[in-house]
Amino acid sequence: MEFRDFVALVWKRRLVVAIVFVVAIGLASAYAFTRPKQYKSTATIVFTPDPKQGADFLSPDNLSALLGTYAELAKSDQTKGKAAALLGHPVPGSISTSTVQGSGVLGISGTDTSPQGAADTARSIANAFIQTVEGNGVIVPSLVNSPVAPRQAFSPRPKLIIAMAAVLGLIAGVLLALALQSFRRSVESPAELSEMSGLPVIGRLPRERALRGANSLVWTSAKMEAAQEAYRALRTNIELLTETRTSVLQVTSSDPGHGKSTVVANLGVALGQLGIPTVIVDADLRAPRQHQIFGLPNGHGLSTLMVLSDAEITPQPTEWRNLSVLTSGPIPPDPTEMLHIRFRAVLRELRSTEQFVLIDSPPILPVSDARLIAPHADAVLLVAATGMTKMSSFGSALEKLRFAGAQVLGIAMNFSQGDEDVTGGYGYGYGHDRFETSAPRTLRAS
């Protein structure tokens, strides 16, 4: 990964990085400001050769060995007992010792939650220790630095703790961002999707917060002009890429919830505005949406046509010019089998009407319906949702389409702006969960 890509990734996941960073600082602050303060006071003892014995020099090796022994002696229970006797009560704090290599210096430190307790601990232990080793005939201990009550606590250090937490939190946030990118890799840009699939991204459709439930048409409000222009651009690109003989376009996605039914409905309106007679076929016999979007009855439709072989195909007109809809009809118990046996005949009759046919089919991965429809369409438009479509899922869906002999035209990137979650859902599987049908809404002709 190049540095530029790394920076782009961190910026894309900046919310994750910021959350980890803030949590780390928060926990560190709580730790630093809730721990009791610790004060430390130190007594310094210097050892010199005993002149009474005529010794004025002690080898460094012998001195180091002796200091190590004395350091342990200063922390012994024997010394603590003598120190308690000098104080008249138990030693209040904890004891630590330190030595300076190659010198006759021993430091005795007392640590306590109060400044005076730290000083009393260090002083009493130092005096008790000196009494213990006096008259050894080798060296003479001298207290050269008497301990005093410190003014400032040496622990905890809030500034140091928070600074370290900030650095570690930033590193942890970046690592988490990298992990999310690796394990939850979803489509974020047209470039990476096109590079992975080898297909052109022929449409970028922004998210419109006003599109909720049955209200899925961007043409009903002048405030959605940007989305309307995006669908016109998609319409133009489809015209440029399809041959004159192309009259049936299937629209699908890898998984549910990526907005393919909304894309079908708005693309149908856009084609009709150009004077192209268009019929939308709702072949999603598990979670149909087109009758809700256009406010049409769904008592009869594609499912009844496939049951009654002699039934006449009569798509329902909409209030949008040059656009009709063949709704799904009642949800059948065996949609896959019905599509496999009868859909080709229905599509053959629709072709004879010389209209442009848009097929709203189920997603590819949950069920096999879309793969049964794909060979009978002239081209397939794949819808991918920014931030939702996983690269692995999209690759698998594309592989299944190509195995079925589909001619994949290109990709429409949906929700290319904004970050709200998609509303609604699918009930795939043989439970056949249904959407609640909203009350029909009157649409204005364009």
pLDDT digits (tens, 9 = 90+) for 360-393: 999 999 999 999 999 999 999 999 988 788 888 8
Do 71 and 96 meet the contact criterion of CB atoms below 8 Å apart?
Answer: no
Please give the pLDDT value at position 353.
Answer: 87
Pick the CATH number of 39-145 from 3.30.70.1130, 3.40.50.720, 2.60.40.180, 3.90.1150.10: 3.30.70.1130
Nearest-CA neighbor of 201 among 380, 383, 394, 398? 383
Does residue 397 surpass a pLDDT of 90? yes
Nearest-CA neighbor of 377 among 397, 412, 401? 401
Most confident listed range (2-11, 182-191, 246-255): 246-255
Structure tokens at 69: 């022994």
Hey, what CATH topology would domain 187-414 get? Rossmann fold (3.40.50)
Q: What are the residue boundaries of the structural domains of the chain, listed by start?
A: 3-35+156-182, 39-145, 187-414
Does residue 104 surpass a pLDDT of 90? no
> Binning pLDDT at 50, 70 and 90, where does residue 54 land?
low
Please give the pLDDT value at position 82.
Answer: 92
Buried b (16+ CB within 10 A) or exposed e, 3-31: eeeeeebbebbeebbeebbeebbeebeee
pTM across the whole model = 0.59
Residues 406-429 pLDDT 10s: 999 999 999 885 433 333 344 444
